[in-house]
Chains A and B, each alone.
Chain A
Amino acid sequence: MTLRSEQHPLQDPQAQRARLEAVAVAPFADAVARAGWTHGLTPRPPRVLQLNLGKRCNLHCRHCHVDAGPDREEVMSDEVVDAALRWIDRGAFATVDLTGGAPELHPRFREIIAHAAARGCHTIDRCNLTILRAARHTDLPAFFAEHGVEVVASLPHWRRPNTDRQRGDGVYDASIAALKALNAAGYGRGAPRAVLTLVHNPAGAFLPAGEAAMAREWKAGLMREHGVTFDRLIALNNLPVSRFLADLDARGDVDRYLGLLVDAFNPATLPGLMCRDTWSVGWDGTLYDCDFHQMLERPMATARPDLRHADLDALAARRVVLAQHCYGCTAGAGSSCGGALA
């Protein structure tokens, strides 16, 4: 069930922001200032164009920060996709990163990949794996290999219990089948144009630790149990947004978890935060500093935060929007779409 379909009060981004702001901890902006960034977080030249192609998904995972699911209808329009293609043509971005929902469900998914790859962009598909076993999508591993797409695949755990508990019964088996199909297409074997990255997030309200050791264990375990290989593992912190926030709230654990993130604030994560060089584009074309801001409807701090009307100079002069959920990206070893930061 999505929060929207159950009419949950925390489906409303404003209600989520209010819940986080009600916790008695220092504003994130103060923590950033105390770390020496007295004028806030400045952006770097844009490097990543991250397109959230929509909220439709074949799964409805317990921790989804998008509140995605089969019942969601938000899909990026042709007008916004065309604007993205024009930005790619301008050569403004080294990386084009497709996410959702399940981005593969967008009717122009393959066109965007082919367009970006033809212009020399590094392309990323943020994949839930199970979609690769669905009708009309089983040929995607070959398509990815043809265009050198990096597959960044979410898999809560290399063993079944945590994966099915978080994502639904049967997801583990479908994920393993998808990983085998990716391996058969050349993925996960060290080839630079067939990179398979797995993404782990904790099963509950705690921070992941020991990313490197975890990667070794996952590699050994997946090889031993299934003969599956992958290139690298990244561990993400759960951010208190959307369904994970609702889960915390239902257990009366929001204050403790945000306190945990605050206590683990690590200033060394600030320089590498993805929000400094990423344009996160919502399904409706709105520009955000990151996908979490997108879900909480906090657009970029500029006059017209819209991909169709974006002004590079104006965006370079902005400050990154800071909010309480940002503590999730600066806790411990840090967290980003590329994994740990420090």
Chain B
Amino acid sequence: MADYYKQAHLQDFGRIGEAGSKALADKFFAYYGAVFEDGALSEREKALIALAVAHAVQCPYCIDAYTDASLRRGADMDQITEAIHVATAIKGGAALVHGMQAIDAARAKGAL
């Protein structure tokens, strides 16, 4: 994994457009920046949402970046770990709720 995930990628991410499709990258980063501005949700709340999603998609770059962002914006460890449990509940719940499909399939075959 070390060959694929490098800490320097995070610092260099903003320059990804230099390799090609710069206009698209610029649009992405402008959108990205706007998403995380203070709005109906605070910057701290958005950072915690991002941190939860980062765990759900298991992105180590995002976990690093949004742990830092959450701490900088005043989140404490109770809030950070609660956000991670929200991601865990949704991922676990998403697996479990598909059990209803298995139940339907089994019922269709007369097994239930």
Contacts and interface: CB of A to CB of B under 8 A. Distances in A.
Interface of A: 157, 159, 161-162, 200, 202-204, 206-210, 212-214, 216-218
Given A210-B38, A212-B38, A216-B42, 18 more contacts: A157-B74, A159-B76, A202-B72, A203-B71, A203-B76, A204-B71, A206-B71, A208-B72, A209-B43, A209-B72, A209-B73, A210-B42, A210-B72, A213-B42, A213-B44, A214-B44, A217-B44, A217-B74
Contacts of B18: none
Nearest to B67: A206
Contacts of B43: 209-210, 213
B72 A213 contact: no
Contacts of A161: 76-78
A206 B68 contact: yes
A39 to B, nearest CB: 34
Contacts, number: 47
Interface of B: 38, 42-44, 68-69, 71-74, 76-78
Pairs of residues from A and B, 4 with the lowest C-beta to C-beta distance, nearest first:
A209-B72, A214-B74, A162-B76, A210-B43
30 contacts: A157-B74, A157-B76, A159-B76, A159-B78, A161-B77, A161-B78, A162-B77, A200-B74, A202-B71, A202-B72, A203-B71, A203-B76, A204-B71, A206-B71, A206-B72, A207-B72, A208-B72, A208-B73, A209-B43, A210-B38, A210-B42, A210-B43, A210-B44, A210-B72, A210-B74, A213-B38, A214-B74, A216-B42, A217-B44, A218-B74
A218 B77 CA distance: 16
Nearest to A212: B38
A204 B67 CA distance: 12
A71 B77 CA distance: 32
Nearest to B71: A206
Contacts of A202: 71-72
Contact of A208 (B74, B76, B78): B74
Contacts of A213: 38, 42-44, 73
A216 B45 CA distance: 12
B94 to A, nearest CB: 30
Contacts of B72: 202, 206-210
Contacts of A216: 42
A266 B68 CA distance: 20
A203 B77 CA distance: 10
Nearest to A263: B11
B98 to A, nearest CB: 36
